[in-house]
Structure 1
């Protein structure tokens, strides 16, 4: 590898998540030239190359690229028409590659992340990749925010919340006053009535939610979560923590039996006994 490539390697983010890229250009030499330059960036993986827009559109679903280097001028389906035909759900980040700078304005109007002039210069390629990484981070943050708002909406029993609604000072408190808990089971979301929950305990990386069953014997729902996450979802006055790995529905406690070592045992209306540890004795006022 020459000195120029070594310098570029040194500036590439070592722990950066890999960028899956495709190159779309009707000129084989142009594709090869860009491929060689991209080899200097270890976080960029070329997963496909296409000589026309129609082939690129057909291949995107299998390639699932994060980034597409797209030539503007191609016979048949040009770069702009290629973008118009790609479904929004499959649209990667786009860097236009063109021999004419007057296409730059149209490139940004088409929501391109950046554009490169042929022949591509290493410094401009570095700038474009930096913009791509920032754009991907923002896209992932937006997607994560959308998922959180959807989850908050589910917890509140309403449609997905707007960001300003979720940021209201009493939003978390309001969610805790709801009468249902959303439990995700694979691809399903189950609504569990809070009054049906007897107690909750931790089992490694999972939480076991013990609930009333149709046969009266009770049932257990298992989800991947932490005790801290459960505490954030539930009202601590209704579901106090009584042990390092146990929360209880305070309304289900019918008896407290002191133990000689300072601990106590709680008896639930279903007959189950749970230990109240000494470190959580401050919860007695809630339970009695």
Structure 2
């Protein structure tokens, strides 16, 4: 049997995962943790084979937990990431030992993740496990797997800060640095992005929505439409219109349409 630890700051999410894991006789849950520091202590004490690790947790998120384990030279278990966001493009992972599941967790998706871990476990050694984890973290951070492995060998932090604090915008021979935290929302205008900031200014950025979204922390920004991204801290309310569509009202009074394909992602903001 594989020893398992479940890490999630949401009690209902932990309970739901524990219930679903009872379907797998190969797994034995030895601990559940509500935050990063407790997870590190439990992993060190229990030496689990597998950890279901929530990516988004206050204070110390899942990435920080991985960094702390590496820095303390604690043996890395298999890791299945759990997240409410699909921003990280987990579906691109071609790995056996490290997988992901999206919240709310679907039984079939969880079964597939567990089967991947079990398959790899039957033939894996410590180096293969490290290689797979390095590949997964590389996908998350944009770094090369070799760089991740070099950091492991040198006892350096595995995960560096991914999201910039400011964005440089070139316009008419000038470069303006816009603090990311000051961005209220962004909308697309052809080949350009209109970045609307807290001080009422609008900055024009020549970049695609996909490129800009990759630079914005998904814990702070949510895609609400094919052509709109909103700072979650500026959302005042979500309205249902008479035609059945939805729109957000921001703290500055701005209304932003929510497309049907992004409605569930927006509702996640209101579940926290």
Instruction: Tell me which structure has the larger Cα radius of gyration.
Output: 1
**With structure 2 as the length reference, what TM-score do the two structures score?**
0.43
**With structure 1 as the length reference, what TM-score do the two structures score?**
0.40
Greater RCO structure (CA 8 Å; 6+ sep)? 2
